[in-house]
């Protein structure tokens, strides 16, 4: 519990291939809603974490919507000092002030197990290389977006 609600965070097992980048799943309940987040925070910079999460999203993008019981927010961003990156699914109207703890717990369990099954059924063989490739794509896009570039 903390001032914004309660949460449970679980580091992902080696079988997912995301342990080396600090992969974790978090279930968070706030006053208004419940969220399940797939996060990455094990690399040195926020940019590297964001690139690793983009590599995860690219690897699973064509499979992610069907096995998960709720859509995933496809935006990638850092939190705080841009150290962590995450993709999130939200169950609106199921926060602790809504009196729907049981429904959000069932949803979170389904989301959590679906993510675990997806990540362990087809792990990314070399997440560091995939993240480096995504970082290069991001850097190249930034260079071409610069004025006069």
Residue in this structure with the two tokens 């690897």, named with its chain if needed: 59
Q: Please tell me the distance from the alpha carbon of residue 141 to that of residue 129, in angstroms, as a whole number.
A: 19
pLDDT digits over 35-58, tens only?
A: 888 889 888 888 888 889 888 888
Closest by CA position to 51, among listed 143, 141, 138: 138
Average pLDDT over residues 69-95: 71
* 113 to 7, 47, 53, 109, 124: CA distances (angstroms): 16, 28, 19, 6, 18
The answer to whether residue 149 scores a pLDDT higher than 50 is no
pLDDT at position 113:
85
Model confidence at 3, pLDDT cuts 50, 70, 90, reads: low
pLDDT at position 59:
85
pLDDT at position 147:
59
pLDDT digits over 87-108, tens only?
A: 888 888 777 776 666 777 788 8
């Amino acid at each position: 519990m903390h001032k914004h609600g309660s949460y449970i965070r679980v580091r992902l097992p080696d079988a997912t291939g995301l342990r080396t980048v600090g992969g974790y799943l978090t279930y968070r309940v706030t006053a208004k809603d419940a969220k399940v987040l797939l996060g990455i925070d094990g690399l040195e910079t926020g940019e590297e974490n964001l690139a690793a999460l983009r590599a995860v999203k690219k690897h699973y993008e064509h499979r992610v919507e069907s096995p998960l019981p709720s859509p995933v927010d496809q935006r990638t961003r850092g939190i705080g000092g841009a150290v962590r990156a995450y993709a999130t699914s939200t169950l609106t109207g199921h926060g602790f002030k809504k009196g729907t703890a049981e429904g959000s717990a069932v949803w979170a369990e389904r989301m959590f197990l679906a993510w675990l099954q997806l990540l362990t059924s087809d792990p990314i063989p070399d997440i560091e290389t995939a993240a480096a490739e995504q970082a290069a794509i991001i850097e190249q896009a930034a260079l071409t977006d610069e004025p006069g570039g």
